[in-house]
C-alpha cells in the first residue's frame, strides 16, 4: 500500500492530472491510503488565491478571466470551485462551471468542482486536505472559489495566501456591505461589473474604508473590473503578483497554520461520530414527549466516549 501511495504522490509531482484526480477522490471520500498520502505532502511554492464574495458577484466569471490572463502567460493553474450541496443527500446543487469550459482541454489548467457537503464557511469539509494535495502538483497558482454565502465565508482567509473579496454595485446598501464580517479578510477588493450604475460610489467607499483601516505602508488595493469583457483583469493579476512580492507577514502565516491545525484536530475528534447513526438515534428519541436536544447531546457524547 505504501509503495502505491508513494508512486501516486510522485505522479502528482510530475503533473499527472489523472493521478491528481484520483488522489482528490481518495481524500474527499476517506478511501484507503488517503492518510498516508497526506503524510507525504511537502511544502510548496504554489500561490493560493481565494476568491470570495456574495452570490451574484461574478466570481466564476472572474476566475475565468484570470485563467485567460495567466494561461496566456504560460502559467500552470488549478481551480477548486466549491458548489453548494443539498442538506439531504450532500450532492452538489449547482455545477456552474460553464464559464470555464474553454479551459477543460488546456494542459496547463486543472479544474475540479467540490461539493460543500454541509460545511459552513463557503468551503468543502475536506478543502484543507485537498488544497495540500493539489499543491503537490507543479502549479504556479491555485484558485479557490467559494460558494458565496456572505458574511460567514471568512474561512477562506485561513486557507488562501491572498484573499480577493469580489463585490458588485447591486449588492445592496453600501454601508451595510462595508460592515459585513467578510470585509475584514480582504487582501484585494474587486468591484466587478464596474460599467454599471453606482459602481463608482462603491469604489470610492471601498477606497475610503481601506485608507481608514491601513496601519502599514501597504494599502489594500481596490480594483475595478468588468470580468465578462476582461476589462481591468490584467491590473488585478498584477496586484495579486505584487501582493506576493510585498507581503511577508510571519504572524499571519503562524495564525493560518494554527487555524489549519485546529480544524484538522476537530475533524479527527469528530470521526467517531456518524451522521446516519445520529439520525437513527434521534428518530427513536423523538418519540418521547420529554425529548430535550441538549440532554440528548450530553448523553450521546458520553455514550460515544
Model confidence over 34-61: pLDDT tens digits? 999 999 999 899 999 999 888 888 999 9
- Is the residue at 267 inside a domain? no
Q: Are residues 58 and 151 in the same domain?
A: yes
Q: Same structural domain for residues 213 and 292? A: no
Whether 195 maps to a domain, the answer reads: yes
Distance CA(263)–CA(168), nearest Å, equals 31
Whether residue 164 sits in one domain with residue 204: yes
User: Which DSSP letter does residue 47 get?
Assistant: E
Domain that holds residue 9: 1-40
Q: Is residue 184 part of a domain?
A: yes
Please give the backbone phi and psi of residue 121, each rounded to the nearest 5 degrees, phi first: 85, 10
Nearest to 27 by CA among 118, 119, 146, 124: 124
Number of residues written out for the chain: 305
Q: 291 in a domain, yes or no? A: yes
- Is the distance from CB of 195 to CB of 251 less than 8 angstroms? no
Show the CA angle centred on residue 287, arms to residues 283 and 290, nearest 5°: 120
Average pLDDT rounded to a whole number, residues 264-284: 88
Residue 135, pLDDT > 60, answer: yes
Q: Which residues, listed in sequence order, are joined to residue 113 by a DSSP beta bridge?
A: 81
Q: Which of 94-98, 136-140, 162-166 has the highest mean pLDDT?
A: 136-140
For residues 265 and 3, the model is more confident at 3
Q: What is the mean pLDDT of residues 251-266?
A: 77
Answer whether residue 126 is part of any domain: yes
Q: If you average pLDDT over residues 210-228, what whole number do you get?
A: 85
For the chain, the average pLDDT equals 83
Q: Are residues 36 and 79 in the same domain?
A: no
Same domain, 7 and 138: no
Q: Is the pLDDT of residue 212 over 70?
A: yes
- DSSP assignment string, 85-137: B-TTT--BS----GGGGGGTT-TTEEEEEEE-TT-STTS-TTHHHHHHHHTTS
What average pLDDT does range 186-200 have in this prediction? 91
Nine cell digits for residue 78: 488549478
What pLDDT shows up at residue 120?
Answer: 44
pLDDT beyond 90 at 219: no
Residue 88 has pLDDT above 70, yes or no: no
What are the backbone dihedrals phi and psi of residue 65, each rounded to the nearest 5 degrees, phi first?
Answer: -65, -40
Report residue 215's pLDDT band, with 50, 70 and 90 as the boundaries: low
Query: Strand order of the sheet with strand 77-83?
Result: 109-115, 77-83, 141-145, 47-52, 162-167, 188-191, 222-224
The answer on 194 and 97 residing in a single domain is: yes
| pLDDT above 80: residue 170 | no
Q: Which residues of 129-168 are buried (b: 16+ CB within 10 A; e: fewer)?
A: bbbbbbbbbebebbbbbbbbbeeebbbbbbbbbbbbbbbb
DSSP H or E segment with residue 285 = helix 275-285
| Count of the separate structural domains present in the chain | 3
Asked if residue 49 and residue 187 are part of one domain, the reply reads yes
Amino acid at each position: 500500500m505504501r509503495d502505491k501511495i508513494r508512486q501516486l504522490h510522485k505522479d502528482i509531482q510530475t503533473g499527472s492530472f489523472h493521478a491528481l484526480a484520483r488522489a482528490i477522490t481518495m481524500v474527499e471520500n476517506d478511501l484507503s491510503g488517503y492518510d498516508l498520502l497526506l503524510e507525504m505532502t511537502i511544502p510548496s511554492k504554489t500561490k493560493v488565491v481565494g476568491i470570495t464574495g456574495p452570490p451574484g458577484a461574478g466570481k466564476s466569471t472572474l476566475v475565468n478571466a484570470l485563467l485567460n490572463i495567466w494561461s496566456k502567460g504560460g502559467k500552470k493553474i488549478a481551480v477548486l470551485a466549491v458548489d453548494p450541496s443539498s442538506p439531504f443527500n450532500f450532492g452538489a446543487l449547482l455545477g456552474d462551471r460553464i464559464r470555464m469550459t474553454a479551459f477543460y482541454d488546456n494542459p496547463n489548467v486543472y479544474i475540479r468542482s467540490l461539493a460543500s457537503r454541509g460545511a459552513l464557511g463557503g468551503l468543502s469539509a475536506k478543502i484543507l486536505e485537498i488544497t495540500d494535495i493539489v499543491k503537490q502538483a507543479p502549479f504556479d497558482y491555485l484558485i479557490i472559489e467559494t460558494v458565496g454565502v456572505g458574511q460567514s465565508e471568512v474561512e477562506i482567509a485561513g486557507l488562501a495566501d491572498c484573499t480577493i473579496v469580489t463585490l458588485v454595485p447591486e449588492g445592496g446598501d453600501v454601508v451595510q456591505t462595508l460592515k459585513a464580517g467578510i470585509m475584514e479578510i480582504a487582501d484585494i477588493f474587486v468591484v466587478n461589473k464596474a460599467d454599471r450604475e453606482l459602481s463608482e460610489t462603491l469604489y470610492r467607499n471601498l477606497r475610503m474604508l481601506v485608507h481608514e483601516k491601513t496601519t502599514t505602508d501597504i494599502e489594500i488595493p481596490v480594483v475595478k473590473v468588468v470580468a465578462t469583457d476582461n476589462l481591468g483583469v490584467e491590473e488585478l493579476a498584477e496586484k495579486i503578483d505584487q501582493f506576493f512580492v510585498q507581503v511577508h507577514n510571519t504572524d499571519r502565516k503562524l495564525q493560518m497554520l494554527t487555524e489549519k491545525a485546529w480544524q484538522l484536530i476537530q475533524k479527527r475528534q469528530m470521526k467517531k461520530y456518524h451522521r446516519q447513526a445520529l439520525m437513527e438515534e434521534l428518530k427513536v428519541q423523538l418519540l418521547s414527549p420529554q425529548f430535550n436536544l441538549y440532554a440528548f447531546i450530553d448523553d450521546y457524547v458520553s455514550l460515544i466516549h
